[in-house]
Amino acid sequence: MERTLTNKKVLVTGGAGFIGSNLVESFLRSGNYVVCLDNFSTGKRENLRAFMDNGNFRLIEGDIRNYEDCEKAVKGIDYVFHQAALGSVPRSIKDPITSTDVNIGGFVKMLFAAKSENVKRFIYAASSSTYGDHPDLPKVEDKIGKPLSPYGITKYVDELFAGNFASTYGIGVIGLRYFNVFGRRQDPQGAYAAVIPLFVKKLMQHEAPLINGDGSYSRDFTYVDNVVQANHLAALVENPDAVNQVYNVAHGERTNLNELFYMIREYISEYDREVLGISPEYGPPRAGDIPHSLASIEKARSLLGYNPTLTVKEGMAEAIDWYRHNL
């Protein structure tokens, strides 16, 4: 990564999570003072273990739904990187109340606390689920449909609040619409595990993964290092036209679930040939899922200087190597 944020005080909410912990690691490596706010509802303490003795790292165990915790976390902070949320479409369908409370209520509390502390910029994790039922491919930022899940609704409402706070209070905000991020530290356990770590875990256990639908659904899978790059760039950009915007953060290539399965199986077979005899099982499509997702990243390229460095296959090789040593 060429351009990195350095010598700043940053807050990463949800810093014990998958993406959050990768941001914490990157910001510490580039010489920042990093505060992590997490309630460990989905984040994991082991994701932070390597940073706990670092004098430039501080952990605040708290909840974004508690405004006092938000105020405490933003004290003296230059940049907020808001990753805290309850992810997963199925989780939001099962429990829309908690997803809404965290993803909207917590977001607004965190945004208002950042405004009150006069932070330089508030950069937040938006989501490709905002595109909902809009049929066009690739997805471009100014053309969205109706979200298909409570989760998608919450992430869209966050964008509306961010835009309103920017115009009402003058706080600089940037939303990054993540497209199916994967990589090291993504949790393969639990009922709401993402598809890549779930496939990896199943294959490593010599079990057949379940594909929802016929495997033709496709996604713009995005390696976590590309997401980390986008967050650095969102903090560094000085062009006023680039602020108070939302950007797609992806690689700009589409992989369907059948292709994904065979790609993962191929990489695992390099050290475990037995997986070559495993084929996927198929079930009904999952409620709330969109059939296809593919991002245009031209806006992020032109205004942020975003240039994803790892393809899906390159990222997958790194991810499989991490899982091999950590599962």
CA distance 208 to 203: 7
- Burial of 76: CB neighbours in 10 Å, binned 0-12, 13-18, 19+: exposed
CA distance 172 to 248: 18
DSSP states of 41-107 as a string? SS--GGGTGGGTT-TTEEEEE--TTSHHHHHHHHTT-SEEEE------HHHHHH-HHHHHIIIIIIH
Helix axes 312-326, 195-204, angle to 10 degrees: 50
CA distance 90 to 179: 17
Q: How do beta strands 79-82 and 121-127 pair?
A: parallel
Written as six digits, the tokens of 100 are: 């809404």
CB 243 within 8 A of CB 203: no
**Helix, strand or coil for residue 268?**
helix
CA 164 to chain centre: 23
Written as six digits, the tokens of 143 are: 């053309």
**Helix, strand or coil for residue 217?**
coil
Concerning whether 323 is annotated as a catalytic residue, the answer is no
Written as six digits, the tokens of 38 are: 């997490």
Among candidate residues 79, 124, 151, 223, the one labeled active-site is: 151
Residue 282 DSSP one-character state: E
CB 281 within 8 A of CB 209: yes
Q: Could you list the active site residues? A: 151
